[in-house]
Amino acid sequence: MGTMNKYLGLKIKELRKSRGLTQAQLAEKINIDAKYLSRIETGLSYPSLKTIEKITEILHIEAGLLFNFSEFKDKDSIISELNYKINNYPLENLKLMLSFSNIIDTKNIK
């Protein structure tokens, strides 16, 4: 099971539940088998673009939201991503990051 499959499945499940839908209800609305939706949500299957489009329509979301996996990343992958950005950002972006970091630090002191 690939990481993207796993994260996409978790995201669909999270959004489905937040809309108060069961797997059976969402599956019926997007015209797929509930077992197939279960496989998507567990990362065992990857939905077609047509299925993704139907999911976004029923859940009333932009497709990009399905692929925002930031809440599933662990500390090491976040640090790795930040290191990459730090090493590749221009100086002005780094100054903004530092300013933002300082704001966060002052809020955590309280």
Domains of the chain by residue range: 3-71, 74-109
Helix and strand totals (H; E) in the chain: 7, 0
Q: What is the pLDDT of residue 34?
A: 97
Phi, psi values for residue 70, rounded to 5°: -55, -35
Q: What does the block give as tokens for 99? A: 């300013």
21 within 8 A of 31, measured Cβ to Cβ: no
Q: Would you place residue 109 in the very low, low, confident or very high pLDDT band (cuts 50, 70, 90)?
A: low
Q: Tokens in use for 101?
A: 């970091």
Flag the least confident range among 1-15, 35-49, 96-110.
96-110
Which structure tokens are listed for 23?
């797997």
Q: What is the pLDDT of residues 2-24, one digit of tens each?
A: 788 888 999 999 999 999 999 99
What digits encode the pLDDT tens for the residues 44-82?
Answer: 999 999 999 999 999 999 998 888 887 777 788 778 888
pTM of the entire predicted model: 0.66
**CA angle 74–8–101, rounded 5-degree value:** 35
The CATH topology of domain 3-71 is 434 Repressor (Amino-terminal Domain) (1.10.260)
